[in-house]
Amino acid sequence: MAKEPKPMVSFENTFEKLDIRVGRVLEAKLEAGTHKPTYEMVIDFGKFGKRISYGRFTQHPIEDVKDRLVLGVLNLGPRHMGKVTSEVLVLGVQYPKAESGEATFVSPAANAKIGCKLF
């Protein structure tokens, strides 16, 4: 039996309010100031500037994270993660067979323009 999705919402009051943009990871390093292994990523969103994000994408080798295109939510506000603060939420889904919270990136399938909006 299929699980029921969450209740319907209107586009105008939900998805339309999120500013989700394509960014490119310029730098990535392992962050020691969080409770679980986390990458600190400097991401370029073009005319929307560079933002720092922290995420549990550590199943990916760090050399595969640099230069990767990612989708980030720019208008959620900062989120405190232990001693660090993430400026943008990078979208991800559960990494296969990894512990809860470990993610893999949601990325464009083609070389999309930095800063372009998800629609």
Q: According to the model, what pLDDT value does residue 81 have?
A: 85
- Contact between 101 and 53 under an 8 Å Cβ cutoff? The reply is no
**How much is the pLDDT for 54?**
96
Q: Is residue 45 part of a domain?
A: yes
Residue 1 in domain? no
Are the C-beta atoms of 31 and 54 separated by less than 8 Å?
A: yes
3 domain-assigned: no
DSSP letter at 17 equals: G
For residue 86, the domain's CATH number is 2.40.50.140
pLDDT in tens, the chain (119 residues): 788 999 999 998 889 999 999 999 999 999 988 888 999 999 999 999 999 999 999 999 999 999 999 999 999 999 988 889 999 999 999 999 988 889 999 999 999 999 999 99
Is residue 49 domain-resident?
yes
- Name the maximum alpha-carbon separation found in the chain: 46
* 50 inside domain: yes
Determine phi and psi for 46, rounding to 5 degrees. Answer: 65, -125
Rounded-to-integer distance, Cα 106 and Cα 103, Å:
9
Question: How many domains does one find in the chain?
Answer: 1
Asked whether residue 9 is assigned to any structural domain, the reply reads: no
Does residue 21 contact residue 9 with C-beta atoms inside 8 Å? no
Flag whether 34 is in a domain: yes
Q: Examine residue 6 and state whether it is found in any structural domain, yes or no.
A: no
Question: What span, in angstroms and rounded, lies between the C-alpha atoms of 10 and 46?
Answer: 29
Which residues span the domain enclosing 31? 19-105
